[in-house]
Amino acid sequence: MSALRQQVRTGLVWSALNNVVLRFGTLAVGIVLARLLSPEEFGVYAVALTVQAVLMTLADLGLSADLVRSRDPERRAPTVALLGLSAGVLLAVAMAVSAAPTARLMGTPEAAPVIALLGVTLVLAGAGVVPFGLLQRAFRQRALFVVASVDFVVSTTVTLALVGAGWGVLALAVGRIAAQSTTLVLLHVLARHRPRVAVDRSVAVSVLAFGLPVAGANMLSWALLNLDNIVVARMSGAVLLGFYVLAFNISTWPMTAIGQVVRSVALPAFARLSGRDGAHALAVGTGLTAALAIPAGALLAVLASPLVSVVYGSRWSLAAPVLGALAIFGAMRVLFDLWVSYLLARGAARTVLAVQVLWFLTLLPAVVVGVRVGGITGAGWAHVVVAVGVVLPAYAVAMRRTGADLAAVARRCVVSIAATLPAAAVAAAISRSVQTSWVALVLGGVAAGATYLLLMGRWLRRAAHAMTRADDVGAGPEPVPGRHRAEVARPESEDLGSLEPVRGRHRAEEAPARVSVVVPCYNYARFLPEAVHSALHQEGAQVEVVIVDDASTDDSLAVARELAAGDPRVRVLAHPDNRGPVATFNDGLALATGEFLVRLDADDLLTPGSLVRSVALCRRHPEVGLVYGHPLHFTDRRPPARSGPVTWTVWPGLAWLEDRCRSGVNVITSPEALMRMSVVQRVGGQRELAHTHDMEMWMRLAAYADVGYVGGADQAWHREHPASLSTTAEAPLGLTILEERRAAFEMLFSTVAEEVPAAARLRTVARAALATEALRRASYEYDRRRAPARSVAPLQAFALATYLGARHLPQWRGLQRRVRAGQAWTRWRPWWLLHPVRRIVRDRAAARQWHRTGLYRPLPATRSRPPLDEGISA
């Protein structure tokens, strides 16, 4: 990661230079304009700028963010260019047509011409999406600095010239158009990008699928920052809006400078990091951002009055109380921007949109109440209340679901807050005791800055050093062969760790892996060729197929030998007599020579790209011994299979095993699973169990190695038909499969007691889960009046025989209440309706959870991050 480290470091330097230089320039121009324009004129322009800013974010459609995170930007660029230009034109027309009614709605009819004129900037912004995204993706902050500098010079020159000529507020709009027209040409020149538009439907669909939530979230973000302008303009008029906008602009000085530096490199940096690397970088980045933003916001708040008086003059003094609140909100907004970049890099665009919607819905009434109670100052404090009470917890939940270490993030923020409080107290004391504004401003700023650096200087040096050591992010000890991380970290403890996954992106391997595919076959001649071909046609892997015919009575053996004759990668082993599926697989396992192993029943198929996706995860995580994904179940016609975007989830083996014990359910069908041969050789083949031999083997593998999951792509097709083993496994009331699961757990814990320190406890957990499931089935059948009390007695007996504490389970007590009441009574009770409905809802929720994460139980810690565009696909 040395190249990435250098790119991030260079990007930070140029981005910081860009923001410092331009921020001082913008500050100077803002001071001049504030002294040339009246508060009312300032308010009119603020109304027009509010409308333009909201539509500008929508015109982007999240297209630049899609290019930044994409692996093939050149292929996507023409389609992105067309989408951006089309969105800009449509929104510009809409803005021009609706200018007059929009201005009247906001209580400022005189803003209509400015609104219509600013619509031109939407077209220019849409045309510049592609070159801007390419420059940002390449960390070319130096080029972006040149573009921003030219934009500033052109805008300032034109605006000041036209204001001097008496154009008034229209000068600001014309200056904005002139600047964007110039920089549009410059962007294409610096990016060395020739404008080209084209339509690729597949690209357009994926771009819009990612971009629309991002655009919605960005639009809501800007609406959140401008919603108060609309409310203030509507309820207080253009004059007070001018004071409010000036205060808001001042609050963004240090916030925008810091936030722009962070945003310019955060998204591309987070997008190139994965799993623990990304989580560690988030904590470090949050610490550094908080160390700059929190003290800046606090000092701006306590020194608001002398600052406004010195810089803008006494006629703008009404803006000082508002600035005190908005400065605090501005500091929080910098952290929110960093967290949004992290979530977008994890593909959580919809989550970001959901948070923005929640923010918007709560801010609107808060600002209205704030204006009514406290005027424009109340509107400022409404931002702070909503940010602390609603937005901060929402982002914390969102980041937790994507694998962030919230404790580490919080610790780094607390350090900055603790050092800021005494520094702000010093500045406030000086501001109150010194009457001359400029003296209070200078002394307060210097004293507070010195206090903060005295407390935080050493911490800042360490944090900056940690940020630049990108090569060491997430580094840890090498995995011990044959042992998983949970044991290496806690050899003396029975704590099995959490089900917190380690997530990462795929890295293509140069050397194709050797994969052995064992195909047990019994009377599946009609399915066998399709199954074998699905394995042989896998790209990116050296595949050998071992077909083991278990004395079939149809033409299976002849078909297998014909396949072997046509392809040297196929070998055939024939049983003289029928030995069952377990012995059939184990005999094939003895002939396998690959680095990895797949059991593919003759009636199932592998999806294209299945093996290369699983192998990539295994090679990236050598501690993983078992990888599985999502299978598609079908009967006659195969449904289309997803091929990406692909994500990874890796669980510590013992944590995954504990989840199996708590649910008592198998989550792997079989064809979608890939095993590491070295681990299989250590744990042995399948055991003699009629229907749960595969489940027992998956759990045994988890006792010796970690477990991985390939998300976002379908890994296999599982055929369901009357002769399949899974179809014949169920007996009335499901008692047979429960007995098989119990036998699987008993056999497992009789062989891995030494490997699993908490084997005795997990055995009890598994027994309780099976007993609970038996009692639930009994209650369900009884509620539906399918079975009398004596018919569900075998399920009760199973529960008692399996778990000694079965009589203390709530499901046991519920069944007893039903039996005492009698089935006739259930027609007058809601049991017969509520219990099936609850069961259906629970089962469907579990099925959706399994489809997304590979686990049935809805555990927040096991949710995979949303798909990334960079994932491997077929």
Q: What is the pLDDT of residue 701?
A: 94
Locate the domains of the chain by residue range. Answer: 1-212, 237-476, 513-732, 759-862
Coil, helix or strand at residue 846? helix
Question: pLDDT per residue over 178-226, tens digit each?
Answer: 988 998 888 888 888 777 787 777 777 777 777 677 666 666 666 666 6
Q: What is the pLDDT of residue 199?
A: 78
513-732: CATH, from 2.60.120.620, 3.40.1130.10, 3.40.718.10, 3.90.550.10: 3.90.550.10
Q: Is the pLDDT of residue 229 over 70?
A: yes
Q: What is the pLDDT of residue 828?
A: 46
Q: How confident is the model at residue 376 (pLDDT cuts 50, 70, 90)?
A: confident
User: What does the DSSP 8-state code read for residue 500?
Assistant: P
d(CA 860, CA 791): 38
Amino acid identity of residue 351, one-letter, is T
Could you tell me which residues come within 8 angstroms of residue 373 by beta carbon, excluding any fewer than 6 positions away? none
| Sign of the torsion angle spanned by Cα atoms 57, 60, 64, 66 | positive
How many CB atoms lie under 10 A from the CB of residue 419? 22
Q: What is the pLDDT of residue 629?
A: 92
d(CA 737, CA 743): 10
* Of the candidate ranges 2-11, 662-671, 747-756, 785-794, the one whose mean pLDDT is the lowest: 2-11
Which value, to the nearest 10 degrees, does the dihedral of the CA atoms of residues 716, 717, 723, 724 take?
Answer: 30
Q: What is the pLDDT of residue 573?
A: 94
Q: Which residue has the higher pLDDT, 498 or 450?
A: 450
Give me the DSSP letters along 213-227.
Answer: HHHHHHHHHHHHHHH
Q: What is the pLDDT of residue 208?
A: 76
Q: What is the pLDDT of residue 512?
A: 86
How many CB atoms lie under 10 A from the CB of residue 750? 10
Q: Is the pLDDT of residue 172 over 50?
A: yes
Radius of gyration of the chain (CA): 32
Q: How confident is the model at residue 860 (pLDDT cuts 50, 70, 90)?
A: very low
Q: How confident is the model at residue 29 (pLDDT cuts 50, 70, 90)?
A: low
Q: What is the pLDDT of residue 607?
A: 94
Phi and psi at 626, nearest 5°, equal: -140, 130
How many CB atoms lie under 10 A from the CB of residue 462? 11
Place of tokens 């989580």: 279
Q: Is the pLDDT of residue 680 over 80?
A: yes
- 348's tokens: 């959580």
The answer to whether 219 touches 58, Cβ cutoff 8 Å, is yes
Q: Which residue has the higher pLDDT, 105 or 850?
A: 105
Q: How confident is the model at residue 483 (pLDDT cuts 50, 70, 90)?
A: very low
The answer to whether 134 touches 67, Cβ cutoff 8 Å, is yes
Give me the DSSP letters along 722-777.
Answer: TTSTTGGG--GGGHHHHHHHHHHHHHHHHHSTTT-TTHHHHHHHHHHHHHHHHHHH
Left, alpha or beta for 578 (phi > 0: left; psi -120 to 50: alpha)?
A: beta
What is the percent of the chain with per-residue pLDDT over 90, rounded to a whole number? 23
- How deeply is 565 buried, as exposed, middle or buried, from its count of CB atoms within 10 A (0-12, 13-18, 19+)? exposed
Question: pLDDT per residue over 612-658, tens digit each?
Answer: 999 999 988 899 999 999 999 888 788 888 887 788 888 888 888 98
How big, in percent rounded to 5, are the helix, strand and coil portions of the chain?
Answer: 70, 10, 25
- 662's tokens: 């708590």
Could you tell me which residues come within 8 angstroms of residue 90 by beta carbon, excluding any fewer than 6 positions away? none
Q: How confident is the model at residue 421 (pLDDT cuts 50, 70, 90)?
A: very high
Q: How confident is the model at residue 16 (pLDDT cuts 50, 70, 90)?
A: low
d(CA 351, CA 358): 11
Q: Which residue has the higher pLDDT, 602 or 131?
A: 602
Mean pLDDT for the chain? 77
Could you tell me which residues come within 8 angstroms of residue 648 by beta carbon, excluding any fewer than 6 positions away? 274, 275, 503, 504, 505, 506, 617, 620, 621, 708, 709, 710, 711, 864
Q: What's the pTM value of the predicted model, to 2 decimals?
A: 0.46
d(CA 598, CA 813): 44
Looking from the CA of 676 toward its CB, the CA atoms found within 13 Å total: 26
Q: What is the pLDDT of residue 159?
A: 82
Q: Is the pLDDT of residue 817 over 50?
A: yes
Amino acid identity of residue 408, one-letter, is A
Question: pLDDT per residue over 154-169, tens digit each?
Answer: 888 888 888 778 777 7
The answer to whether 268 touches 68, Cβ cutoff 8 Å, is yes
Q: What is the pLDDT of residue 609?
A: 92
Give me the DSSP letters along 133-188.
Answer: HHHHHTT-HHHHHHHHHHHHHHHHHHHHHHHHTT-TTHHHHHHHHHHHHHHHHHHH
d(CA 242, CA 316): 9
Q: Is the pLDDT of residue 276 over 80?
A: no
Start-to-end C-alpha separation, the chain? 26
Question: pLDDT per residue over 52-67, tens digit each?
Answer: 666 666 666 667 767 7
